Structure 1
Amino acid sequence: MTVTPAEGANPLREMPVQDLRAHAAEALTRARARSTALTDAVDDSDLVRQHSKLMSPLVWDLAHIGSQEELWLVRDVGGRTPIRPDIDELYDAFKHARADRPGLPLLDPAQARAYVREVRAKAFDVLETAPLEGRRLTESAFAFGMITQHEQQHDETMLATHQLRKGDPVLRAEPAPPRRGGPLPPEVFVPGGPFVMGTSAEPWALDNERPAHETTVDAFYLDTAPVTNGAFTEFLDAGGYTERRWWSEDGWSYLREHGISAPRFWHREQDAWWRTRFGVYERVPSDQPVVHVSYYEAEAYAAWAGRRLPTEAEWEKAARFDPETGESRRFPWGNDEPTPSRANLGQRHLSPAPVGAYPDGVSPAGAHQLIGDVWEWTSSDFHGYPGFSAFPYREYSEVFFGPGYKVLRGGSFGTDAAAIRGTFRNWDYPIRRQIFAGFRCARDVSPGEMG
């Protein structure tokens, strides 16, 4: 067959300029409301404390958000006089490791809040006057979308810091996620052949998502939903963490070195598993996707189950390809933006939802919850697509390319809708467990199943 090169239509490209400005302002405002909620939830001593050497103090994240906004929107797009050039190095993520940041002369909470307010006021002034054309950085308000996504990404990082902090619950959320629907088939079939991977049409897509290019995958089966806590408990109860044969060499070494025996934040009490979730101690719900597992744990489970992790290309084809039209959609359900009925995003519920809870978000292949709930580990190393070009700076993606990082897809319950789509690529070290990561499995089609 011939792959239709068309991608899903994006309304940003057709917006009148004033509507585009309003859209960008709303996205920035929503991100700031979330940053404020995450930092106002604790007192100043909590803001400056490092809750884990894996994470920055929350006050560093807050001022870093402002620093990036000043660099790109106030100085670059707006051409305005720098506000705080003296703190550029303090909030450069490449200058200081997270473990070292508490020892820096950081802005205190009051100073950080005042700084981000001043930056935002100037950024909104720039948004009202900047031409949203003529430069790649400003076309379709890209710079404003980039900064929105940057803030939302740090909001998810701050949410992970909240998960690591000790003490009583401080975050609030809507009632429990929707209940699951009827039973789901265990797996779905994804046909082989070419499809358009990545994007050249999504205005706010980041550099590692570009360009759109034709990719071919063989037919495969994919889990209908992410692996649940209940299924993962079977792996635990079968001795999965003590059986060397399920683990890669690197995974087994990491497991033994750190004494890992269950997903992070899980605890065994008598005959049941319990977990700590944002200060709440609760029994592990069997029907939710497992979360806080490393790539190595996902890989070992897949081996135990007689399956494997999907490649990044397989994941994206299952999420985007519509076999009826040959088009690659923006999202599994189509080209429209996420809604609460389609995906669990934006820390709305502070946990994954039961599998099957979002039938409105199903993909053409029949897979559920490919967007939201948990980031999903893939077997692919992080690299640039054919024709990749770093933009607007190498440090966003290019410096991370290589075998040291694994790609995650789909977003989590802590990811905002502005920072996720069917082409979005996340990456991290395979040892990471504090992030909101889970997985689903895949398998090859056997000769007898080819019909």
Structure 2
Amino acid sequence: MLSTQQIAKLRNQYQQTRQYTESLCAPLHIEDYIPQAVDFTSPPKWHLAHTTWFFEEMILSKNVTDYAVFDAHFGFLFNSYYQTVGEKAVRAQRGVMTRPTVEQVYQYRHYVDAHMQRLLKDDISDEIKDLITLGINHEQQHQELLLTDLKYTFSLNPIHPVYHPDFDLVGQLSTVEPQSKYQQAWINIEENVYEIGHNEESFCFDNERCRHKMYLQSFQIATSLVSNAEYIEFIEAGGYQTFSYWLDDGWAWLNNNQISSPLYWQKIDGQWFYYTLAGLKLVDKDASVSHVSYYEANAFASWKNMRLATEFEWEVAANHFDWGQRWEWTGSAYLPYPGFGVSEGAVGEYNGKFMVNQMVLRGASVATSKNHSRSSYRNFFQPQCQWQFSGIRLVK
């Protein structure tokens, strides 16, 4: 059982996480909660409800005697991909669910929160504590997805709506020296056998476990991310028209979708602009490039006669440079570590079943919730995905 101090800390983490999600929705109008632009994004209303469903389904329903679910339909509507839990609504149709209302979804959140607070006033087992911690981290993931999904939806509006004037997220951070003002510096990592994977008592996802040894040859990794100015050079040098820089699958994606720049970029009167959550802005050339796919990151690296780091190289080198502005594409396919095993039940569906046709990203982004990431964190998306705050770090 947990001590009183441990329970109080967990209760505080739960409260802060739930409140932060709702604070992200504070700038929204009621109309903003509903639309779903494409099948890989979800509306804010769905994120609010799904994260609540996780606590209800995984914790309250199974561990609180006589707990009554808020609404019997919500398990179907707000299950995401958990096959062992039961049927679920069609993902691409989340934006057509005008009912339940936004008000009802907030009632649902507050109902579940009240029951969770009661649960967290008493002794709880280590198993329940671990599930609550997983639920908190799950909600933090959806906080970032809420922003990236909302940005995609807003970007399709020709009047370039402003989510919040101080929420640019892709401009140069004041704490980082402008990249165009100095030459790229490189870190030398020596050939050796290194240990990879999470090695602390603190929380991690199951895909970070199974710490193991990995032999790495010597390499050099850039201290900073590729800037918008550097990426514009790639564009203007014909990077999107030169097939030799591209993987065949990436070349097909580029041509089939008429891709000619990072997501949200457009050229107006000879100048590059991009849509941000603070509205349409002139591209900040000193800032790190964002919203590029793995295909684009790999093509840029090929153009520079360099490459992307493997996820193992990135982890070994991570304590030598600052990271956290952008998720960084690696050259590693998302696969299980040696010894990885899928947990029983719905929790086992969290990561393992996605270990195919995806590439690993490391680090964190400006949209990642505070204290959510770590050097062993393994994010993953399909190689064509651009809508996350993803960037490029080179290796030679």
Give me the TM-score of the superposition, normalised by structure 1.
0.78
**In the aligned structure 2, how far is the partner of 1:30 from the partner of 1:172?**
24
State the number of aligned residues: 376
Q: Which residue of 2 aligns with 1:146?
A: 134
Q: Give the superposition deviation at 1:121.
A: 1.3
1:358 aligns with none
Partner of residue 46, structure 2 = 60
| Aligned equivalent of 2:329, options 367, 370, 377 | 377
Task: Tell me whether 114-123 or 192-201 shows the greater mean CA deviation.
Answer: 192-201
User: Which of 13, 25, 31 in structure 2 is aligned with 1:45?
Assistant: 31
Q: Which residue of 168, 177, 186 corresponds with 2:173?
A: 177
Structure 2 residue identity aligned to 1:407: V
Correspondence for 2:349: 395
Aligned residue identity for 2:136: T
Matches within 5 A, 1:11-410: 17-79=3-65, 81-83=67-69, 84-94=71-81, 95-104=88-97, 106-133=99-126, 137-138=127-128, 141-164=129-152, 165=154, 166=157, 167-171=160-164, 173=166, 177-181=173-177, 183=182, 185-319=184-318, 363=319, 366-369=320-323, 372-391=324-343, 393-402=347-356, 404-410=357-363
- Distance between the aligned counterparts of 1:101 and 1:315, measured in 2? 36
Does the alignment pair 1:426 with 2:388?
no
The worse-fitting range, judged by mean Cα deviation, of 30-39 and 232-241 is 30-39
Cα-Cα RMSD? 2.2
Match of 2:84 in 1: none
Rounded Cα–Cα distance in structure 1 between residues aligned with 2:239 and 2:304: 10
Letter of the aligned partner of 2:337 in structure 1? Y
Distance across 1 between alignment mates of 2:251 and 2:384? 11
The structural deviation recorded for 1:81 is 1.5
Instruction: Identify which range, 193-202 or 223-232, moves more after superposition.
Output: 193-202
- How far the C-alpha of 1:276 sits from its partner, in A, is 0.9
Q: Report the 3-state secondary structure (helix = DSSP H, G, I; strand = E; otherwise coil) of the residue aligned with 2:332.
A: strand
Q: Give aligned-pair identity as a percent.
A: 28
User: Cα 1:131–1:142, aligned 2, differ >3 Å: closer, same or farther?
Assistant: same
Give the superposition deviation at 1:279.
Answer: 4.5
**Is contact 2:333–2:359 with CA below 8 Å preserved after alignment?**
yes
Do the aligned partners of residues 92 and 245 (structure 1) sit closer, same or farther apart at CA in structure 2, a change above 3 Å counting?
Answer: same
Checking the alignment, whether the CA contact within 8 Å between 2:359 and 2:383 is kept in structure 1 is yes
Structure 1 residues 172 and 57 mapped into 2: Cα distance closer, same or farther (>3 Å)?
same
Normalising by structure 2, report the TM-score. 0.89
Residue segments in structure 2 that go unaligned for 5+ positions in a row: 82-87
- Once residues 206 and 286 of structure 2 are traced to their aligned partners in structure 1, the CA distance between those partners, rounded to angstroms, is 36
- Relative to structure 2, which stretch is displaced further, 191-200 or 239-248? 191-200
CA distance in 2, matches of 1:174, 1:436: 13
Deviation at 1:269, TM superposition (A): 2.4
The 1:174/1:59 distance shift into structure 2, 3 A limit, reads closer
* Residues 96 and 378 (structure 1), Cα distance of their counterparts in 2 relative to 1, 3 Å cut: farther
Distance in 2 separating the partners of 1:418 and 1:73: 23
Report SS of the residue matched to 1:160: helix
Please give the secondary structure, in 1, of the residue aligned with 2:331: strand
Name the CA shift for 1:247/1:77 in 2 (closer, same or farther; >3 Å).
same
CA 117–74 in structure 1, closer or farther in 2 if over 3 Å, else same: same
Q: Is the 8 A contact 1:149 1:418 kept in 2?
A: no
Offset at 1:192?
Answer: 2.0
Does the aligned pair in 2 maintain the 1:200–1:211 contact within 8 Å?
A: no
Runs of 4+ in 1 over 6 A off after TM superposition: none
